[in-house]
Copies of this chain bind each other. A is one copy, B any other.
Amino acid sequence: MHSSPRLLLLGYGNVAKALLPLLDSRGSWLEQELGIRPLISGIGSRRTGFFTHSAGVALSELAKEVNPLQLFSASGHASEDAAAFIRAGRATGANALIELTTMNPDNGEPALGHIRQALEAGMDVITANKGPIAHAGEALQTLARQRGLSLRYESAVMDGLPLVNLAEFTLPAVGMRGFRGLLNCTSSIVLSQVEQGSSLEEAIRSAQEAGVAEADPWHDLDGWDAALKTTILANALLNARLTPRQVQRSGIRDLSRTEVVAAARKGTPIRQVSSAQLVDGVLSASVSPQRLQPDDPLFAGRDLGMISLETEAMGTITLTEHSTGVLQTAYGVLSDLIAIQRARNASQETH
């Protein structure tokens, strides 16, 4: 057996609730392939309270609970806030933070602070949060490297569809030149509704009712969400040093219903396209509404998550994510946990 990860879950929303049974269902795989039995050292959120458990709780134990949080609140130690929770968890031996809180897209806080605190305390970090990585990814990675720790964030863009991990593990030295993608599902769904006859307001309301759009939908529709994702991917895939405000951005707010419907009728539907291209070493990145021609690789994904990677050695490769939801986000967290453990196992074998 290798030394098992002791996980601190910060943020207890739908992704965390999907992650616990997913981890449990992969228990024998993790034991056989990696020689580990992960323990949950704590679960915390602002809404439910912050609880750590000194011995850690096995996933199989948690799986028996209707409400895993109750087991922690009944027998665990309560902290007053996230910072105290991370300190208390680290004191019990937790060695990885799984950061799944909500955050302010303008600066990535408070998630950014949690991640920094955990790295400084000596914990690996996995986050599904775009903000901290888009706003401060390089500084956080430098901090992680200095401490010999890992910071992974596959789920920050297109859930667990391997993009960051793909470039790192299976497309090395391919000569990545750029990408174009439909990275924001909400805007695709809203545009699709408008094409079918809704007004923009109706389309937004219906997306909100379906739980797809946020209370403030403009973060998605004005292209901020896509700009954060474009920043993350440009930095990870193209070794850029982009910040979100450097992404040229025009949203779908000012598109008229007539324009959207007419474009769709002509067979060239409008979608919010994220793009980053390296030309002669210079990066340009943008988020803008574009008409998708039928021969565009993104055309087929006009109602799905989709990305085309432009590479020197492999030409264009397109990846399509047909299902997007909390299970897919949770899987990305699992795949990051596995990547971290594989690296740990390799380094443990050296000592």
Residues of A within 8 A of B (CB): 22, 26, 29-30, 33, 159-162, 165-166, 169-174, 297, 299-300, 308, 313-323, 327-328, 330-331, 334-335, 338, 346, 349-350
**Smallest CB gap from A328: residue in B:** B314
17 CB-based A-B contacts, threshold 8 Å = A22-B313, A26-B173, A29-B172, A159-B314, A160-B174, A165-B169, A166-B170, A169-B169, A170-B170, A171-B335, A173-B334, A173-B338, A299-B300, A313-B334, A317-B322, A318-B319, A350-B350
How far is it, in angstroms, between the C-alpha of A33 and the C-alpha of B315 when the chains are bound? Answer: 23
Given the interface contacts A166-B166, A171-B335, A335-B172, does A318 sit within 8 Å of B317 by beta carbon? no
Contacts of A308 in B (CB 8 A): 322
State in angstroms the CA–CA spacing of A90 and B154 once bound together: 42
Interface SS of A by simple majority: mixed
Q: Are A323 and B334 also in contact (CB < 8 A) when A169-B165, A299-B300 are? A: no
Contact A297–B320 (Cβ < 8 Å): yes
Provide the bound-state CA to CA distance between A169 and B26, in Å. 16
Question: This chain: how many copies in the complex?
Answer: 2
Whether B174 and A170, one on each chain, are in contact in the complex, defined by CB atoms closer than 8 angstroms, is no
Q: Which residues of B contact A349 (CB under 8 A)?
A: 346, 350
In the complex, what's the smallest C-beta–C-beta distance from A205 to chain B, in angstroms?
27
Q: Are A160 and B300 in contact (CB under 8 A)?
A: no
Cα distance A335–B314 in the bound complex, in angstroms: 11
Q: Cβ of B328 and Cβ of A321 under 8 Å apart?
A: no
* Contact in complex: A331, B319 (CB < 8 Å): no
Measured CA separation A323–B312 after assembly (Å): 11
A330 CB to nearest chain B CB (Å): 8
- A319–B297 CA distance with the chains assembled, in angstroms: 11
A30 proximity list for chain B (CB < 8 A): 173
6 extra A-B contacts, CB within 8 A, seeds A174-B335, A318-B319: A160-B314, A170-B335, A174-B331, A308-B322, A314-B331, A315-B321
